[in-house]
Amino acid sequence: MKVSSYADLKGKSALITGAGAGIGRAIAEALVRAGTNVILNDIDEALASKAASTLMAAGPGRCLSVVGDASDVKMIDEMVALAMKEYGSVDFAIPNAGITVFGAFDEVTPEEFDRIMHINLRGSYFLTQRATLAMRKGGNKGRVVLMSSNVGVQSYPMLSAYSMTKSALQMMARNLVSELGPHGITINALAPGATLTERTKREQEDYAGVWSALVPRGAIAMPEDIANTCLFLLSDASRHINGQTIVVDGGWSVTSPLPDEVSSENVDHGSDIV
């Protein structure tokens, strides 16, 4: 994977949730290659362990894993404690873990609603809280990158609950500028569009073909496209960017065409999508 080099990331430490595969793993790999020490989390123990052991050999940075639900504050505290013990600091936080409920507004259940709010919002909120407290105690001018989505910018059918959470993360970035800025900590949101990951390949037979035809650039994102933007937001090159949402979707949210198969008649209301 070709990743831009940011010398100022070397020797720093990062916390990333939902990083056993997909975009989170790509961000973790890019950071390790840049010399950043990473604590990655995933709810899947096998994925987390495999990712951490593989990434230990990927670059000069180190990588350790913590298994658990990203909305569990005890697990978040464990990540922070491990980073402090093993790396001596917390410099970056990337609350990447998220789930999607794809369904009609009047069919979303309270259980589905609570689950998506817990993972997408509670997990992001408290990882940011705990990580930035550690940054402030250490006097670190850290960085937080929240993982939003282009459907938090542009409406999309059957995604009311998911879109709410992704839009809320953008406001979280804006709102916390006034509280974190005086401590030298920046916070921004990253909003990926259609991205080819293990999950999207499973969920749609020709995901890349369908979505590439809908993106003005003519191609969907690869995980490293999102990782490269994340590294920019973590680096000193972005030091004057604060409270912003960077959309990385090849222009889809500008034109916003939909796949022919997205309709209330044939959508799988129970599936998760990116």
Contact 229, 55 (CB under 8 A): no
Catalytic residue among 71, 149, 235, 238: 149
Which entry of 124, 148, 167, 235 is annotated as an active-site residue?
148
Instruction: Answer for the pair 269, 103: CB distance below 8 angstroms, yes or no.
Output: yes
Query: Is 141 among the catalytic positions?
Result: no
Catalytic annotation present for 87: no
Active site residue 50: no
Identify whether 124 is a catalytic site residue.
no
Catalytic residue among 162, 167, 207, 238: 162
> Among 12, 71, 166, 238, which one carries the catalytic annotation?
166
Tell me which residues are annotated as active site: 148-149, 162, 166
